[in-house]
Structure 1
Amino acid sequence: YLLTIVILFIIGRRNKWREMRLKIPLLGVTTSLMLFGMSLPLGFIPFHVNLATFAGILLGPGLGFIASFISVFFLSLIGHGGITMVGINSLTVGIEAVAAGFLSVRLARYFRKHFRFSVALTTVISLVLSIGFIVAVIVLSTVYNVGEAFQLQTGLELTSVGLRNFLIIIFVIALVGISIETLITIWVINFIKSVRPDILER
């Protein structure tokens, strides 16, 4: 919670209020899409298409993190994740948005003639960072015997399986989840680029 609050405070200080105010409608729409994606599990795997990378690409790292926090907070009010998990879940989802916000601009410039590839690469890297963070937290929390408090979005407990099997399960889940979210993000961003390319300009 403390780290999340500090990050939100820094974002508020670094972003000019006037510029943020102009993007509030876009922030609202993006947050709504994230809420929709997060509330619909894929069913066959414990993975949610949270669209955080989409938020980061569209809004930038700062507002992308804010959108992640708002989405996680509202979902916690209806029992998705729980109010005590808002801080850690905001960091987990926010990592995707922040990474995507920074990477999208740089990769789009580097791969100017391959826009879809730059979006795909941005999404994959951002999701890998986020999943890596989840795995690290679960492993560390198990070492310090607080595993139940850090099950996060995976629904897995490291104590119930060996470390090797746990990593294999995570790899398979991540591979499927990343593939699905990458395809969705490419489609949505490419659609926005075709109808309102000015929205993507930062």
Structure 2
Amino acid sequence: MPALPAPRSVTEVSHIHIPDGVLPVWLWLSGWVIAAALIWFASTRSRGADVRRKVPLVGIISALVLVSMSSEIVPIAYHINLTVVAGVLLGPQLAIVSAFVVQVVLALLGHGGVTVIGLNTLMTMAEMLLGWALFRAFVRVLGRTRVRAASGIATVVTLAITTTLLVGLVAASGVTGATARETGALDPQNLTFASPFSEGVVGVGLFSGGEKATAPAVGLKRFATIVYTLGPVGWLIEALVTAAILGYVARVRPSLIFEGPLAPTERILPGDELGVH
């Protein structure tokens, strides 16, 4: 296979920073078709719910996810995604819409190509929906008073699973150039850290045109090793952030979590339909 131009970073868990023309057509086209079908399904299912009341929340959450995804913890080259937060607060249908909106804006700002919007949307959807489902399951087991614990565990499990999906996606592409990525302070050859804070701690790249790979493409096995070396640290950080956010929301506006958007079978707390407490 001829050498490909170095793509942008691809291992941001829920979005793939690869320019157009790198991934095979069958892969990115499949992503678009599946994503479009899910968005249509979500839109259809949302018609009977009180969507208008949730539109401002969708906008706020989408903006929050957008900024967090474009911000990097430099030493470990990790982007906080807040996808579990989005899934829990928006519910499954609106989370799907939010995932698409976020990835379209990121692509327009240069964070990945237009052709991979479909795949990026599917990855983000997977995190939001899986995080939503796991959080609900853990809350049932641990109880409503353990929101922080439930959200933290759900976040770690979700990110571990979706990272594995990402590695599988890169493997399925069969494109060697897709394994180039940012490695932060990690030396990709010997997997050691050197001067982890020499380039700063946090970087915001929303309008920088995306991140460029700082290491050459490697074999799939080494790629997976790098991902699983850097990933767990980021998962734990994101779990703490998610637990803090959802713990606060559970305290000041519990119905956003426990009743959930688009859940008419559960009792709405008095005053919540107007956002009053």
TM-score calculated relative to the size of structure 1: 0.88
Higher helix share: 1
Correspondence for 1:135: 167
TM-score calculated relative to the size of structure 2: 0.66
Structure 2 unmatched runs, 5+? 1-31, 184-211, 261-277
Identity of aligned residues (%): 30
CA distance in structure 1 between the aligned counterparts of 2:126 and 2:180, rounded to whole angstroms: 17
Correspondence for 1:60: 91
Correspondence for 2:38: 7
Correspondence for 1:166: 223
CA distance in structure 2 between the aligned counterparts of 1:129 and 1:177, rounded to whole angstroms: 14
Per-residue deviation, 1:149: 6.1
CA distance in structure 1 between the aligned counterparts of 2:161 and 2:61, rounded to whole angstroms: 21
Correspondence for 2:147: 115
Per-residue deviation, 1:95: 0.5
Contact 2:87 2:129 in 1 (8 A): yes
Q: Which amino acid aligns with 1:88?
A: L
Per-residue deviation, 1:150: 8.0
Contact 2:176 2:218 in 1 (8 A): no
CA spacing shift, 1:67–1:153, aligned 2, 3 Å = farther
Correspondence for 1:189: 246
CA distance in structure 1 between the aligned counterparts of 2:62 and 2:169, rounded to whole angstroms: 25
Per-residue deviation, 1:55: 0.3
Structure 1 unmatched runs, 5+? none
Helix, strand or coil for the counterpart of 2:74? Answer: coil
CA distance in structure 2 between the aligned counterparts of 1:22 and 1:81, rounded to whole angstroms: 32
Contact 2:180 2:217 in 1 (8 A): no
Per-residue deviation, 1:172: 1.2
Pick the structure with greater CA Rg: 2
CA distance in structure 2 between the aligned counterparts of 1:25 and 1:43, rounded to whole angstroms: 32
CA distance in structure 2 between the aligned counterparts of 1:163 and 1:198, rounded to whole angstroms: 44
Contact 2:84 2:242 in 1 (8 A): yes
CA spacing shift, 1:24–1:150, aligned 2, 3 Å = farther
Contact 1:89 1:152 in 2 (8 A): no
CA spacing shift, 1:18–1:162, aligned 2, 3 Å = closer
Q: Judge which range, 68-77 or 37-46, deviates more.
A: 37-46
- How many residue pairs match? The answer is 199
CA distance in structure 2 between the aligned counterparts of 1:104 and 1:148, rounded to whole angstroms: 36
Contact 2:180 2:218 in 1 (8 A): no
Please report the RMSD computed on the Cα atoms of aligned residues, expressed in angstroms.
2.4
Correspondence for 1:75: 106
